[in-house]
Structure 1
Amino acid sequence: MLNTVDNHVSNKTPSNLQHFTVAGLILEQLRILGVERIYGVVGDAVFGLMDAIAKQESISFKAVRHESVAALMASAEAKLTGRLGVCIAQMGPGLANLINGLGDAYLDKAPVLAISGQAPLNKIGTYYKQYINQQMLVHALSPYSQLIVHPDAVIDSLKQAVHTSVLHRTVSHLSIPEDLFAKLTTAQPFERPDISLPLTGSEVLQQILHRLRSAKKPMILVGNGARAAQEWIQTLAEIWGCGIALSYGATGIIPDANPWMLSGLGEGGNPLLTEMFQHADVVLSIETSWWPDGYVPHAAQVIQVAKHQADVGAAVPVDIGVVGDPVSIIPPLIEGLKDHVPNQAWLVQIQQCKQAWSVQTEVERNHSSSPLHPASVIQQIEHNMDEDAIIALDEGDATLWFLRNFRAKRQQILLSNRWRTMGFGLPAAMSAKLCSPEKQVICITGDGGLGMVMADLITAIRYNLPITVVVFNNGTLQMERDKMFIKGLQPEGTELTNPDFAMVAEACGWHAYRVNNNEHLNEALKQSRTSGKPVLLDVSIARIPYPDFTLQ
């Protein structure tokens, strides 16, 4: 039961209204909105909310060891499900620790609500411990941040926060004084809003079809938001006669086996694709804001399809912008192109590019050495992965090697796309397993990234999350080291002093393996699939510079 006036009597009043405490109303509202879990760290300013959580069963609390992990888990859940992610923290330092994860949600447009405690009402604005103006602290990352000072204001503020987060896919934040949670309120929860996408008129579709038919060198650029339309996109590519390029991190949206799929564009992608893409005369951009300088054409006509109006033209130079769901927009385009005759010369170039890249990556993937070549590790992971697995990528060299060498089927990727924070992988993997317990979840991280969140290895044990973590361990921040060399600088601060990751994981209750060759890696990956516990593979990686780093 929620924390109401009297849990032993009916919650209905003669006016058919429920009586809630502020904490109880917050939880009831989040339940109505479909929130299933809240991530956070307990502090005295949120005791009232924690008490209310303990007295109900609809929403579970996931306690982590650091608030940054809580916010990263909320962000990962929002990215994976499209639903509101929620995290809570103590006032002051607790909120400050959330900032890294909130930054990830903000830049990657993930709907996240952060709730922080605040000083008691009669101490706001004084020299009270840990007190700061928390709205100023989160201002750069949260378009809506409000201090609630009256029990009856909680639902209006919560409604605005949720509206901001969900409709604009961003971060919202509420500061709630610690003595407000237990106060009674006359406010009532609101129902979940029904939000529909705008429909595209036939006139706009005819304009798009005219551009598509005129193309001699067409390309489709696909982003992570297009997963639901993947079958339609593949059909469109075949009929239109175009190549398919992926935005950063969109691996798995289109299977690698698709004959028109040319891998990623730009960083972490297919370097042979760049010249082709620059020669495109019409580009259909679907659910992505990826338009990297130096990889894109200067004179192409660009058609952008996006679910959210704010995304149209924000980063992509658009000739025609369409707001709507690709699942609804692409089928009429396919119908309108059914008599289209593709440019055969362009199709030949697409196949040549795909074949040349396949040969190049196959050479990389089949290296046999100790320490292991990064590409060979990706190949082994690929061979031991379910088609519908979720892959959580950390930031760093390991991510680039994965995006370059992994041949996807229909796996789903989670990564810190624009914020690019180290330490994202483990929290994202744990969140993914909570959201999709039936799926295989693999985290690929570096020794630097894991070192930032290592305390939360114990969180995976606490909540019985059998994930697999593969650590690319070469004792250095490889990407920073290589980039400094490229710029003619002497690397400093890039060497790492690592613990024995396997021993640390075992001490936390994990199964762990130290891996030095491909045979050991393959066997450890196979064993991880049947383990009832989380599994960590500490893989010795050769210090091999990523091939496509150039002086920027």
Structure 2
Amino acid sequence: MSPDESKTGSTSNTGVDTYADAIVAAMAAGGIDHLFFTSGSDIGFFQEATSKARVLGHNNPVRLITVPLEHISLNAALGFAAVTGRPAATAVHVDVGTLHYGGAIHTAWRSRLPVLMTAGYPPTSAPGTLPGSRAEGGHIWMQETFDQNGIVRNYTKWERRLTYQDNPGVVVSRAIQVARSEPQGPSYLSIPKELTFLPMREDGFPSAIELGIPRVGPPNPEDAKEVAERLIAAAHPVCVVSGSGRNPDSISALVELAELLGLAVTESALRAYISFPFDHPLYQAQSTVAEADALFVLDVEVPWAEGRNVAPPADAYIAAAGHDPANLRVPTFEFTANLRISADPLATIKAITEAAKALLTDDDKARIKARSEKLATVSAARIADLITEAEARSGDTPIDPLWLSYQISRAVDDNCIVLDDTLGPSRFSEYLRCRKPLSYIRNPGSSGGWGPGAAFGAKMGAPDKDIICVTGDGFYQFGTPQPAIWAGAHHGAPFLTIVYTNRSYTTGTLAVQNSFGQESYATQSGYEGGYFDPPIDFAAEAASAGAYGENVDDPAEVGPAIQRGLEQIRAGKPAVISVWLKRLIDGG
């Protein structure tokens, strides 16, 4: 049953004979059609129930996607949800599979994406007493913990262990309802093995759609008018963005508002989605807001931070709006604002736009025109300087990261979705000229290694797009790429990964130098723990998993190698292009 169909009544029990059937039926009714599955003895019921639903011809059957590693499964679900806007689910093996989700649990929590994480719970019934009881070896006893759900409790909106008296369809529908309610985020359900064999006792259950997904409305009109007045009166108004681009319709709306008021649009300290066209004259990248006197902070978690951009003056007017404008998921949050608006970002943009149209005078329009022209000049100069800087390093060996970033930007077209899992030294995103909604998505958390799994999931969700994952070699290894590449090849979801291979940890080199100085003991010892040189042969590793792999050390071959990688994925084969760069600090 599709989400729209489920609005007409509770889910039918036709073919839903067991708890397992109900779990899968509730997923389908709640909008989940992809289940990223990493095998375990306690979750085989998913294989049976999804196959049964397909054979019986259920509407919108859940597709089970085999993934060899849990970390990849969860990041894939996040990538899928990011590009489709639809919920996704995962299934893993008891506590050990939950632990293997690893840092992706953190990423899911920070992603504001609707994901249902599930895990089996080991049987506790005596051998032979119930279907699914302890009967497969001594390790079954080792898998029972005092609080399996505690592994993820700090990182979920909702968690529950399914019990005998539950209607499993209701529980799954509730999990999806919570995950899909703004601000969206992960739910977690652990499922005791014995329960999956039980017959259903009730005739049906409500879907997540029938339970109701809350709609977030527009801002108070007086608040919208206040923001419009402040932005119009300001000499240097700025809009700070990050996550509003999660809704594709918000980009054109924000362009209208920015052009109407001559707003400089700048990225927050934590990028998330393309929220404004990177090639627009009013776009100022991650530039400073030090001169801003009025700021509209839109769907942003961390607006500015040392090392990213400079905070605005203390007397600047700041209005923050979004689904969670006070960032309530972060315990300590010291950023001030004159006004915080809990409202839908798109509706907020539209409300401020309409309020501003009613307020603008001819004098205002003249000032705005002059400001917009100045911002366009600044933007053009910034882009020209970036290109000049990259081209000046075009012959450097080892290859300079700016040259690689520039070459990637030249290869990206409107059919690409770029997934960014890089850090600052590459300055990668500064070179991009993405302009389409959802064409750029950054790691939403701080756990490196999101890229390979997310790229696979994104390709599953957007099969007609060219998916390009860009990552440093440290994060690439954190991402355990082999299972992601295998999954991409196996499921016909090829993606291109470009690796900045500098054999260096930013945390173990630049961060150490910044903390302890150039005369530190760590510096004198050559930054032990900061380098992993020589690295793994990423091209050979990719080939072993069924991908095209290429190592590049000639700067003249960077652009052609990227094109070869794109040709491979367009022909149906995953590709990895590893580019040998200068090491951090010592340049070796």
TM-score range, shorter chain: 0.7 to 0.9
Secondary structure of the residue that 1:55 maps to in structure 2? helix
> Which of 229-238 and 419-428 deviates more?
229-238
Secondary structure of 2:509's match? Answer: helix
Matches within 5 A, 1:279-358: 279-294=291-306, 295-297=310-312, 298-308=314-324, 311=327, 317-329=336-348, 330=350, 331-339=353-361, 340-341=364-365, 342=367, 347=372, 350-351=375-376, 353-358=378-383
What amino acid sits opposite 2:148 in the alignment? Q
Quote the residue 1:365 is aligned against.
390
- Seen in structure 2, the aligned counterparts of structure 1 residues 422 and 250 have a Cα distance that, compared at 3 Å, is closer
Q: Hey, what does 2:497 align to over in structure 1?
A: 469
Question: What's the offset of the Cα at 1:149?
Answer: 1.9
Pairing 1:40-79 to 2, within 5 Å after superposition: 40-57=37-54, 58-79=61-82
Q: Which residue of 2 aligns with 1:492?
A: 528
Deviation track 1:37-90 (CA, whole Å, cap 9, x = no partner) reads 111311111122222123333222222222111111112223333322211110
Change (3 A) 1:545 1:249: farther
CA shift in 2, pair 1:59/1:140, >3 Å: same
> What does residue 116 of structure 1 align with?
119
Instruction: Say if 1:112 and 1:99 are closer, same or farther in 2 by CA, change over 3 A.
Output: farther
What is the alpha-carbon distance in structure 2 between the residues aligned to residue 140 and residue 262 of structure 1?
36
Q: Which amino acid aligns with 2:62?
A: I
Q: CA deviation at 1:448?
A: 1.9
The answer to whether 1:441 aligns with 2:467 is: yes
1:149 paired to 2:177: no
Q: Which residue identity lines up with residue 263 of structure 1 in the other structure?
A: A
Provide the rounded CA distance (Å) in 1 between the counterparts of 2:355 and 2:507: 42
Q: 1:117 to 1:365 in 2, by over 3 A?
A: same
Alignment of 1:136-215 (within 5 A): 136-150=150-164, 152-167=166-181, 168-187=183-202, 188-191=204-207, 192=209, 193-215=212-234
Compared CA separation, residues 428 and 337, structure 1 to 2 (3 A): farther
Shift of residue 109, structure 1, vs aligned partner? 2.0
- Tell me how far apart the structure 2 counterparts of residues 256 and 17 of structure 1 sit (CA, whole Å): 50
Tell me which moved more, 210-219 or 193-202: 193-202
Specify whether residues 394 and 96 from structure 1 end up closer, same or farther in structure 2 by C-alpha distance, changes over 3 A only: same
1:508 and 2:548 aligned: no
CA distance in 2, matches of 1:313, 1:451: 29
When structure 1 is superposed on structure 2, of 446-455 and 403-412 the one drifting more is: 403-412
* Aligned partner letter, 2:51: A
Displacement of 1:356 = 4.5
Matched letter for residue 476 of structure 1: S
1:263 and 2:290 matched: no
Q: Structure 2 unaligned runs (5+)?
A: 2-10, 55-60, 127-132
Give yes or no for the alignment of 1:391 onto 2:405.
no
Residue 176 of structure 1: how far off its partner (Å)? 0.8
Counterpart residue type for residue 163 of structure 1: Q
Which residue does 1:244 correspond to in 2?
Answer: 265
Q: Distance in 1 between matches of 2:223 and 2:514?
A: 47
1:39 aligned residue? 36
Report the equivalent of 2:242. Answer: 223
- Corresponding letter in the other structure for 2:402: A
Q: Which has the higher contact order (CA 8 A, sep 6+)?
A: 2
| 1:115 shift after superposition | 0.8
Tell me: CA distance 1:139–1:83, structure 2 relative to 1, closer, same or farther (3 Å).
same
SS at match of 1:261: coil
Equivalent position amino acid for 1:514 in 2: N
> What pairs up with 1:423-434 in 2 under 5 angstroms?
423-434=449-460
Percent sequence identity is: 19
Could you tell me how far apart the structure 2 residues matched to 1:402 and 1:414 are? 13
Q: Which amino acid aligns with 1:495?
A: Y
AA aligned opposite 1:153: N
Task: Give the 3 Å change call, closer, same or farther, for CA 534–334 of structure 1 in structure 2.
Answer: farther
Report the CA distance between 1:131 and its aligned residue. Answer: 1.0
Aligned to 1:268: none
> Which of 467, 480, 497 is matched with 2:508 structurally?
480
What does the per-residue CA deviation read over 1:506-552, in whole Å, with 9 as the maximum and x for residues that have no partner? 222212222122332222222233322111112111225599xxxxx
Unaligned runs of 5+ in 1: 2-14, 265-272, 548-552
1:454 is matched with: 481
Shift of residue 263, structure 1, vs aligned partner: 0.5
Q: Distance in 1 between matches of 2:374 and 2:434?
A: 22
1:377 equivalent among 404, 417, 422: 404
Show the 5 A alignment for 1:413-424.
Answer: 413-417=440-444, 419-424=445-450
1:312 touches 1:323 (CA, 8 Å); kept in 2?
Answer: no
1:300 alignment partner AA: A
Query: Partners of 1:89 and 1:16 in 2: how far apart?
Result: 27
Asked if structure 2 preserves the Cα contact closer than 8 Å seen for 1:444 and 1:471, the reply is: yes
User: What amino acid does structure 1 have at the position aligned with 2:340?
Assistant: G
CA distance in 1, matches of 2:52, 2:249: 38
Q: Structure 1 stretch 303-312 or stretch 239-248: which is displaced more?
A: 303-312
Distance (Å, rounded) in 2 between the aligned partners of 1:313 and 1:344: 40
Match of 1:4? Answer: none
Shift of residue 439 of structure 1?
0.6
| 289-298 or 30-39: bigger deviation | 289-298
The Cα RMSD (Å) is: 2.9
One-letter amino acid matched to 2:71:
S
In 2, Cα distance between equivalents of 1:521 and 1:374: 11
Of 119, 125, 128 in structure 1, the residue corresponding to residue 141 of structure 2 is 128
- 2:453 aligned counterpart, secondary structure: helix
- Over 6 Å off, 4+ runs: 123-127
2:539 matches 1:542? no
1:477-510 Cα offsets, whole Å, 9 max, x none, are: 2453221122235122222242221122122221
Farther-moved stretch of structure 1 (18-27 vs 327-336)? 327-336
Once residues 499 and 356 of structure 1 are traced to their aligned partners in structure 2, the CA distance between those partners, rounded to angstroms, is 39
Contact 2:273 2:442 in 1 (8 A): no
Tell whether the 8 Å contact from 1:22 to 1:183 is kept in structure 2 after alignment. yes
CA distance in 2, matches of 1:337, 1:426: 48
- Is the contact made by 1:373 and 1:544 (CA closer than 8 Å) also made in structure 2? no
Query: Do 1:111 and 1:169's aligned partners in 2 also have CA atoms closer than 8 Å?
Result: yes
**What SS does the aligned partner of 1:42 have?**
coil
- Do the aligned partners of residues 327 and 414 (structure 1) sit closer, same or farther apart at CA in structure 2, a change above 3 Å counting? closer
Amino acid at match of 1:475: R
What is the DSSP-based 3-state SS (H/G/I as helix, E as strand, rest coil) of the residue aligned with 2:206? coil
Query: Which of 421, 426, 429 is the aligned partner of 1:403?
Result: 429
Residues 116-148 of structure 1, C-alpha deviation per residue, up to 9 Å, x if partnerless?
111224269999221112122222112322111
Q: In the alignment, is the contact (CA less than 8 A) between 1:394 and 1:423 conserved in 2?
A: yes
